[in-house]
């Protein structure tokens, strides 16, 4: 068992957990089964706010139930809608945003995030990010369509202006070349 860097999701939580705290405003761009949403809802505290997006009703329902069970639903606004629309739904600036791409574990594996909408959402989110804010993206090149999305994202992030955004790619170097990795983008203060 690994404690600190067991998985890309864990790495993304480590980074985001160091950035946000009570009172933060954040987005979970892909709520799925609600694990990331729960992590964010705990981190932002009673006065913080989490916006969550997913295109699948099942994901919204799973997330709602998870938050209800933990008594944290009132901190979270869930949208059964694509994250490409986030700029229309979130009108305040944000401290952080998390993307966890690919398909819903335990759900329909044919419903996946897509390069064009993921990049549209990331672009919109970067505009909403406060100075010093952080975006994390867990990228899955291993499933069908995943490699195209990974390539498009790598290219998009590589071209972000270096004086405004500091971008890293965190890969697990002793795992398969197609194993998931993290992109993290911090906006300058």
DSSP assignment string, 84-131: GGHHHH--S-EEEEEEE-SB-TTS-TT-B--HHHHHHHHHHHHHHEEE
**The tokens of 59 are what?**
């994901």
Q: Is 96 in the site for ligand SAM (CB under 6 A)?
A: no
Q: Is 179 in the site for ligand SAM (CB under 6 A)?
A: no
Q: Is 30 in the site for ligand SAM (CB under 6 A)?
A: yes
- Quick one: which of 19, 49, 75, 83 contacts ligand SAM (CB under 6 A)? 83
Q: Is 186 in the site for ligand SAM (CB under 6 A)?
A: no
Q: Is 104 in the site for ligand SAM (CB under 6 A)?
A: yes
Q: Left (φ > 0), alpha (ψ -120 to 50) or beta: where does 160 sit?
A: beta
- Quick one: which of 61, 87, 89, 117 contacts ligand SAM (CB under 6 A)? 117
- Quick one: which of 19, 25, 26, 36 contacts ligand SAM (CB under 6 A)? 36
Q: Is 55 in the site for ligand SAM (CB under 6 A)?
A: yes
Q: Are 147 and 102 in contact (CB under 8 A)?
A: no
Strand ranges, E, within the chain: 25-28, 49-54, 76-80, 94-100, 129-139, 165-170, 181-187
Question: Which residue lies nearer to ligand SAM by CB, 25 or 113?
Answer: 113
Residues that bind ligand SAM (CB under 6 A): 30-36, 53-56, 59, 82-84, 100, 102-104, 111, 113, 117
């Amino acid at each position: 068992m690994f404690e600190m860097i067991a998985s890309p999701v864990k790495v993304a939580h480590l980074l985001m957990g160091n950035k946000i705290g009570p009172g933060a405003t954040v987005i979970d761009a892909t709520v799925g089964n609600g694990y990331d949403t729960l992590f964010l809802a705990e981190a932002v505290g009673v006065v913080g706010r989490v916006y969550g997006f997913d295109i699948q009703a099942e994901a919204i329902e799973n997330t709602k139930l998870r938050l209800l069970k933990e008594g944290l639903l009132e901190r979270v606004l869930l949208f059964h809608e694509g994250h490409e629309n986030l700029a229309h739904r979130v009108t305040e600036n944000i401290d952080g945003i998390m993307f966890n791409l690919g398909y819903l574990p335990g759900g329909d594996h044919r419903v996946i995030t897509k390069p064009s909408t993921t990049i549209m959402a990331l672009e919109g989110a970067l505009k909403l990010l406060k100075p010093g804010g952080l975006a994390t993206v867990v990228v899955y090149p291993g499933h069908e369509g995943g490699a195209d999305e990974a390539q498009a994202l790598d290219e998009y992030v590589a071209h972000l202006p270096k004086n405004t955004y500091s971008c890293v790619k965190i890969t697990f170097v002793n795992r398969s070349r197609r194993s998931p990795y993290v992109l993290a983008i911090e906006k300058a203060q």
